[in-house]
Amino acid sequence: MPDRWNRVSASPTNPGSGHGVESLTAEDLFRPAARSTVPLDEKLRQVYYWIVNRAVISPYYDMEFSHGEPLSIGLGDAGAAVSLPTQASFSSNVLVPLLTFAVGGKCLLIGGPGRGKTTVAVLMGVLAGTASDDVRRSVQQGQPQLTVSDLVGIPLPRDLVAAERLTDIRIAWRDWLGLPVKIIDEYNRIPTKTQSALLTMVAEGYVESHDQMRRTAPDGGVESWFFTANDDAGGGTFPVIQALRDRMDVTVQAAGFNSRFFDELITRVEAGEKPEEHVPAELTFDSAEQTEMRAQIRAVPIPDAVRERLRFFLSHFEFVQHGGRRFEYRTKDVVTTAGGRVGEVIEANSGADLEIDLGAQTRNGVSVRALQTLIIYAKAIAWFRGADAVEIDDVAAVLPFVLRGKLLPNATHPRFDVGAERELSTDTVSWLADLFTQSCRQYDALGRDADDAVAALLSEFDRGLDGLPALEASRRITAVEAQLRRIATVGKLYGRDFDDVIALKYLHQRYTAYVRWQELRG
Amino acid sequence: MNRIPVQLANAPAPFPPADLPDLSAAGLDTALASTSVRAAHGTPLLFARALAAGLAQDPAAATDRDRALDLVSVAAWRSGALGLRVDALDRLEHLDTPEQRLAAAATLGLGVDVLDEFRRRQRKDRFWWPGRADQRGYVLAVGGFRGIGGAWIRPPERVDTLADAGAFAILVAGSWWRLDSDVWGARLSVLSEAPSEVHTRDDGVSIVIGPDTHLAWVHVREQE
């Protein structure tokens, strides 16, 4: 095996403890090593660096981390700039799929043909311990004639003839269904009916045929899915059903080839090598390691300071003034489900300050599923970076890839039609990143860390109602009403106010119900 | 210009291409040893070639466990596994036959005529090998730009000497790294905090860094 493939980052890829070199003897070299003591996060970092340095030619560092402001250098006369981050930064087209592998998620890789989408996905399959040939063979190629049987397997012909009941028919399930990493190439070329069968697998973790069921997740293990598509804007032979598209936890664009790395490409062509055939054995994860890795990721805490900013960001998007009559129904979802156009409703709200109202830039809100994904991926990247807790930079790094295709831009917003900002209408990742940055700026400008009256009221309530005197409950009802009046004095309402008002109404209900109950009890 | 880390004793290649020798007749599993060498931050390819070069000079070692272990130890050290340094130097002190001396020298990639000088000088100068003077005292470079497979994203800013021989602390982009090194190998590991004590050594060894390179060079001022 050529040694150039086999070089794994020897030095720790992240802060640890440098204890010097342990003395060994020749005899020590012939003792089988105890099971690898490399921590799982360090191992995943070694995998990342092996992929970007050896397997996939990807010199792109678009997931940036910096302490303080990075050095930014303007380029050309069209507003382009390159920033040089101060901390280790990463290639999204490698790291996002790798995090998907770590958490057991679903990743959509998009980009033109021949950009390494399938190669990255196949590498993930090999990392899960499957032989590279088997991974390649198990890739499900999307094509217009792909049937459900092609995808899941066929009923045994003998059983079809002899069976008296549907449950007597045994199914010859396809082998790929049991693999820990599943790859669907060009999923936007799969017929709609087959997409629906795929949806059941992706969403529910099982597949059904002739009343027989088979679980797709390996026993007690972690399964991850990788889809590829040449188009993310609804193109392809068949439109992707929305429910399936919504199941993609993250979407990442494959990077183009950098001509400065042409020599490496020539070397590979001459050697006839495929990176997936050379994954070092020590970089693969067995089922127990994958389960442990996911458990460790889930255990990474999200500190209050990060939660508050994230909460604030999420509050912008659901509300739309004039979306409905009753206050609770003034949401984009109400408009959309009634067949209305959110962009027109936003435009009709002549009193709104579209620059300040971040919610006006989107035509929908963020689903609970997307939020759950955001939480797990933020934890995953914090864990990958070796952090003890999720930092705001971790959220900012993964947020665009999680919300791409889910938080949709309102194309009629002036933001997408003015000068250089027009670029954002095609660069969704930069727009989403900027949206989060703007939200954090607003959070700071409003002094929310120091002054969040609604959070204080909710925190007071969270301490419980057991033994709360009726007088104190009444005082809190008064405080809730006062806070509502305070919000009412502001002329313009924003998404954050909408969430506050709904939360205050909730508190009001809980306290008044408590007071009524106390009165009935005497 | 961006450059990659290098151990100058390995440039140009010190051994001809060779497969990993079979020492099963001596009761030793060299494939396992090769895996252990990798775990000890040595280079398996270099280990295989160094061992093969030594065995070519002393074929009897292929069936003699003790002699084979001598060569394995020296080859592992020669391949960059710093942890084998003490063991290998001890074994070099107890070579009984001319064949063993020839084999040991070949395993190190040296002429047998400089073996004694190498042993003697290594005892007090872990960075010595006969070609150092030709390199104007430079021994090895570590670090390198991460974008092309190195360790660092910025040029190193500061170097402190640590208590252990061949050990230094290097500040890069706000993080402290520990360097352990000798003539055949170097290992970088990240320190969780700044070194608590700074030491001084009068051995002529220094780390050369600059604002326009991601490499840190180990340099030795000749004292003999």
* Beta-carbon separation of A30 and B192 below 8 A: no
pLDDT of residue A185: 92
Residue A1: the pLDDT is: 36
pLDDT in the model for residue A16:
41
Determine contact: B8 vs chain A, CB below 8 A: no
Q: What is the DSSP string of B36-59?
A: HHHHTT--HHHHHHHHHHHHHH-G
Report the gap between the CA of A219 and the closest CA in chain B (Å): 31
Q: Which CATH number fits domain A92-258+285-298: 3.40.190.10, 3.40.50.300, 3.50.50.60, 3.40.605.10?
A: 3.40.50.300
**Dist. CA A234–CA A106, nearest whole Å:** 19
pLDDT, tens digit (0-9, with 9 covering 90-100), for A501-517? 999 999 999 999 999 99
**With contacts defined as CB-CB under 8 Å, which chain A residues touch B147?**
59, 61
Tell me which chain A residue has its CA closest to the CA of residue B42.
A10
CA atoms within 13 A of residue A486's CA, in its CB half-sphere = 12
- Judge whether A260 is closer than 8 Å to chain B, CB to CB: no
Q: Boundaries of CATH 3.40.50.300 in chain A?
A: 92-258+285-298
Q: Is B153's CB within 8 Å of A12's CB?
A: no
Sheet strand arrangement including A106-110: A140-141, A181-185, A224-229, A106-110, A250-253
Query: Per the CB < 8 Å rule, is A15 touching B190?
Result: yes
CA gap B66, B152 in Å, rounded: 42
Q: Which residues of B touch A17 (CB under 8 A)?
A: 189, 191-192
A304-445: which CATH architecture?
Orthogonal Bundle (1.10)
Asked if the C-beta of A17 comes within 8 angstroms of chain B's C-beta atoms, the answer is yes
B87 to chain A, minimum CA–CA distance in Å? 5
Minimum mean pLDDT range among A255-259, A470-474, B186-190: A255-259
For residue B224, the model assigns a pLDDT of 54
Contact in structure between A104 and A295 (CB atoms under 8 Å): no
Whether the predicted pLDDT of A125 surpasses 60: yes
Q: Does A34 touch chain B (CB under 8 A)?
A: no
> Stretch A113-123: mean pLDDT, rounded?
89
Of all residues in chain A, the one with the smallest CA distance to B83 is A23
B82-94: pLDDT as tens digits: 999 999 999 999 9
Residue-level pLDDT at A35: 53
Residue of chain A nearest B19, judged by CA positions: A1
**Closest alpha carbon to B155 in B183, B177, B140:** B177
Nearest C-alpha neighbor of B50 from the set B12, B20, B26: B20
The pLDDT tens digits for A53-64 are: 778 877 888 898
Q: Nearest-CA residue of chain A relative to B169?
A: A18
Q: Give the minimum alpha-carbon distance from A69 to chain B in angstroms, rounded to a whole number.
A: 13
Per-residue pLDDT tens digits for A395-413: 999 999 999 989 999 988 8
| Residue of A276 and A108 predicted with greater confidence | A108
Whole-complex ipTM? 0.91
A233 touching chain B per CB within 8 A? no
Residue A284 · residue A418 · CB < 8 Å: no
A141 contacts chain B (CB < 8 A): no
A11 touches chain B (CB under 8 A): yes
Identify the band that residue A15 occupies on the pLDDT scale cut at 50, 70 and 90: very low
Answer positive or negative: Cα dihedral of B65, B71, B74, B78: negative
In chain A, list all ranges with CATH 1.10.8: 304-445
Contacts of A61 in chain B (CB under 8 A): 147
Give the minimum alpha-carbon distance from A285 to chain B in angstroms, rounded to a whole number: 17
Q: Does residue A475 carry a pLDDT above 70?
A: yes
- Three-state SS for A414? helix
- Look over chain A and give the mean of its residue pLDDT values, rounded to a whole number: 87
For A29, which of B37, B86, B149 is closest by C-beta distance?
A: B37
Query: What token pair was written down for A139?
Result: 């890739």
Q: Which residues contact A135 (CB under 8 A, 6 or more apart)?
A: A122, A125, A126, A179, A181, A183, A276
How many CB pairs below 8 Å do chains A and B form together?
Answer: 102
Of A58, A11, A20, A64, give the one whose Cα is nearest residue A38: A11
Mean pLDDT (whole number) for A156-179: 89
- Which residue shows structure tokens 């942890």? B83
Overall residue count recorded for chain A in this entry: 522
